[in-house]
């Protein structure tokens, strides 16, 4: 009914702790498992006999609080998180989402001096709001989320109140836009002006907070594209100099676009296979359909049936709908079941 996986990493220590509430014999039990990450875990229960849900929830919540107080964190990197006390509440802030383009369109934008280019990062989309009440993260659904403590501290070292848009890469936040600063709403400002404001706020890149590199000339954009492709990065983002910041995703096109060097999609886990593998499914008109299997690397926990996971792949086969060369990237907490649609897939081109 409810479960959590917590992580702890400090020097050579790399541990995992799992807790959950499970129905049993007309009541509920609180289960736990712990041990070294990637190894067989020691398991047990905090309730020798089933109890009512309210009592089980109180035991479970205390267990989670005790572990987080000792430095355990829900982040798989093991980085301690800073709790704002507002988690899962609506923030009133939504990010700008981009439509994808193919390589020929990207080649045209590289030649067009009206378009800037930035790296598309392979992390988790995150906005960071600093206000008089503190620092908090906001996910792509507009919900308040906990921040890695070390990122929160880097943001607190900056001056003023603001909202940054960027990507969280473990214990590093890469800011690629700014939408508010002090008493000014920057959404209606041209992209180029917002990037100037961002550079004035974050003047020097640090180990846990930095800004995205931006290329504007044809030569610089072409060179960045080749460098990122050679390095196996996720892709690039194109933004018009005069682009406004508009929340949500346009029906088509837009003044901010993305090119991915490989495909990614969100899948439902339909079942667990042997040898650290799970079966993937996508939704077609609310009906789950098979999309193949993916192996779970040793540095990730095996997800449970019903979890939503992100997977990178080369392409999908039209005949079966299964993905080719899948690579597991991790669980997604900010994606809904309805977004795990067959329409995400990019199919193998016809011969």
pLDDT in tens, 149-182: 889 999 999 999 999 999 998 789 999 999 999 9
Q: 338: which DSSP letter?
A: G
Query: CA 297 to CA 276: how far, in whole Å?
Result: 8
Give the pLDDT of residue 84: 61
Structural domains of the chain sorted by starting position, each given as residue range(s) with its CATH number in brackets: 2-78 (2.20.140.10), 99-260 (3.30.470.30), 263-344 (2.40.50.140)
Give the pLDDT of residue 86: 61
Torsions phi, psi for 75 (to 5 deg): -75, 130
- Written as six digits, the tokens of 171 are 């214990």
Give the pLDDT of residue 181: 96
Residue 34 contacts by C-beta under 8 Å, 6 or more apart in sequence? Answer: 15, 16, 17, 18, 41, 42
Residue ranges in the chain assigned as alpha helix (H):
53-69, 103-111, 149-156, 191-201, 218-230
Query: CA 124 to CA 140: how far, in whole Å?
Result: 9
- Mind listing the pLDDT tens digit for each residue in 277-298? 999 999 998 889 999 999 999 8
How distant is the alpha carbon of residue 328 from its chain centre? 13
Q: Mean pLDDT over all residues of the chain?
A: 89
Give the pLDDT of residue 85: 58
How distant is the alpha carbon of residue 129 from its chain centre? 17
How distant is the alpha carbon of residue 306 from its chain centre? 18
Beta bridge partners of 4: 19
Judged against a pLDDT cut of 90, whether residue 6 lies above it is answered with no
Kindly report which listed range (50-54, 85-89, 193-197, 212-216) carries the lowest average pLDDT score. 85-89
Ramachandran region, residue 153 (left: φ > 0; alpha: ψ -120 to 50; beta: rest): alpha
| Entry field: residues in the chain | 351
Residue ranges in 112-236 assigned as alpha helix (H):
149-156, 191-201, 218-230
- Mind listing the pLDDT tens digit for each residue in 235-282? 999 999 999 999 999 989 999 999 988 889 999 999 999 889 999 999
Give the pLDDT of residue 2: 80
Q: What global pTM score does this model have?
A: 0.69
Q: Which residues of 156-175 are buried (b: 16+ CB within 10 A; e: fewer)?
A: eeeeeebbbbbbbbbbbbbb
Give the pLDDT of residue 188: 96
Nearest partner of 166 among 131, 205, 133, judged by Cα: 205
Query: CA 113 to CA 178: how far, in whole Å?
Result: 22
Judged against a pLDDT cut of 70, whether residue 316 lies above it is answered with yes
Judged against a pLDDT cut of 90, whether residue 191 lies above it is answered with yes
Q: Taking the CA of residue 171 as centre, how many other CA atoms within 13 Å lie in the half-sphere pointing to its CB?
A: 15
Question: Residues 101, 235: contact at Cβ < 8 Å?
Answer: no
Give the pLDDT of residue 197: 97
DSSP secondary structure of 190-208: -HHHHHHHHHHHS-S--SS
Give the pLDDT of residue 189: 97
- Mind listing the pLDDT tens digit for each residue in 43-97? 888 988 899 988 999 999 889 888 887 778 876 655 656 656 565 678 889 999 9
Judged against a pLDDT cut of 80, whether residue 324 lies above it is answered with yes
User: Which of 16-20, 143-147, 189-193 is the most confident on average?
Assistant: 189-193
- Mind listing the pLDDT tens digit for each residue in 330-348? 888 888 888 999 999 988 7
Give percent of the chain above pLDDT 90: 52
Give percent of the chain above pLDDT 70: 95
Residue ranges in 203-293 assigned as alpha helix (H):
218-230
């Amino acid at each position: 009914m409810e479960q959590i996986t917590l992580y702890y990493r400090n020097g050579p220590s790399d541990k995992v702790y799992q807790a959950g509430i499970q129905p049993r014999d007309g009541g509920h039990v609180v289960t736990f498992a712990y041990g070294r990450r990637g190894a067989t875990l020691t398991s047990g229960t905090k309730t020798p006999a089933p109890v009512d849900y309210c009592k089980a929830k109180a035991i479970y919540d205390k267990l989670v609080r005790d572990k987080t107080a000792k430095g355990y964190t829900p982040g798989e990197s093991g980085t301690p998180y800073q709790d704002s006390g507002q988690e899962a509440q609506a923030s009133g802030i939504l990010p700008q989402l981009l439509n994808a383009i193919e390589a020929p369109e990207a080649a045209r934008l590289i030649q067009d001096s009206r378009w800037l280019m930035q790296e598309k990062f392979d992390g988790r989309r995150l906005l960071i709001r600093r206000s008089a009440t503190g620092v908090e993260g906001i996910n792509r659904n507009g919900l308040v989320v906990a921040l890695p403590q070390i990122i929160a501290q880097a943001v607190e070292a900056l001056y003023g109140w603001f909202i940054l848009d960027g990507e969280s890469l473990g214990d590093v936040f890469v800011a690629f836009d700014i939408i508010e600063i002090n008493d000014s709403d920057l959404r209606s400002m041209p992209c180029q002006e917002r990037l100037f404001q961002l550079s004035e706020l974050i003047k020097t890149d640090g180990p846990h907070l930095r800004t995205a590199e931006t290329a504007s000339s044809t030569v610089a954009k072409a060179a960045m594209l080749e460098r990122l492709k050679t390095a196996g990065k996720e892709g690039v983002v194109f933004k018009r100099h005069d682009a406004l910041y508009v929340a949500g995703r346009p029906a088509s096109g837009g003044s901010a676009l993305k090119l991915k060097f490989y495909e990614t999609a969100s899948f439902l886990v339909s079942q667990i296979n042997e040898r650290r593998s799970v079966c993937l499914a996508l939704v077609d008109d609310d009906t789950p359909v098979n999309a193949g299997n993916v192996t779970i690397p040793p540095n990730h926990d095996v997800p449970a049936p019903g979890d939503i996971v992100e997977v990178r792949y080369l392409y999908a086969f039209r005949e079966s709908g299964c993905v080719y060369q899948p690579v597991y990237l991790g669980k997604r907490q900010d994606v809904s079941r309805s977004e795990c649609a067959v329409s995400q897939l990019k199919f193998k081109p016809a011969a």
